């Protein structure tokens, strides 16, 4: 394969940028949370690419831990969103602006 490390890093960086666009552009808390997961995946892709082209296993193990932490984070974050919806009947960020009033 003639594809080098830089090509994978471009893909990871663009995926991170798309995730950041989702977090800043969208008003739906659930979609913002999905975009955060996408940014985590972009970092995973960069770590695996570095690990492959460095010849060591450590990057792969870091990705292993990141996937575990992301699963725990999704469970807690969705529980918080459900609790917020019970209190406010909305998940749009326009209706969750108590601190800015």
**Which residue, 41 or 98, has its beta carbon nearer to another protein?**
41
Q: Rounded to whole angstroms, how far apart are CA atoms 52 and 88?
A: 47
Q: Does 88 bind another protein (CB under 8 A)?
A: no
Q: What minimum distance in Å lies between the beta carbon of 100 and another protein?
A: 13
Residues 8-37 that bind another protein (CB under 8 A): 8-11, 13-22, 24-28, 30-31, 33-35, 37
Q: Does 43 bind another protein (CB under 8 A)?
A: no
For another protein (CB under 8 A), the number of binding residues is 73
| CA 57-76-71 angle, 5° bins | 25
Closest by CA position to 32, among listed 14, 20, 44, 40? 20
- The DSSP symbol for 3 reads -
SS3 97: coil
Choice from 49, 96, 97, 100 touching another protein (CB under 8 A): 49
Q: Rounded to whole angstroms, how far apart are CA atoms 58 and 50?
A: 10
**Which residue, 24 or 100, has its beta carbon nearer to another protein?**
24
């Amino acid at each position: 394969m003639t594809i080098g490390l830089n090509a994978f890093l471009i893909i990871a960086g663009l995926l991170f940028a798309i995730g950041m666009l989702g977090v800043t552009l969208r008003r739906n808390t659930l979609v913002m949370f999905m975009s955060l997961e996408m940014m985590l995946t972009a970092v995973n892709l960069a770590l695996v690419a570095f690990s492959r082209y460095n010849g060591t296993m450590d990057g792969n193990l870091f990705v292993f831990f990141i996937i575990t932490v992301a699963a725990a984070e999704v469970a807690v974050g969705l529980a918080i969103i459900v609790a917020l919806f019970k209190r406010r009947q909305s998940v749009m960020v326009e209706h969750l602006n108590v601190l800015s009033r």
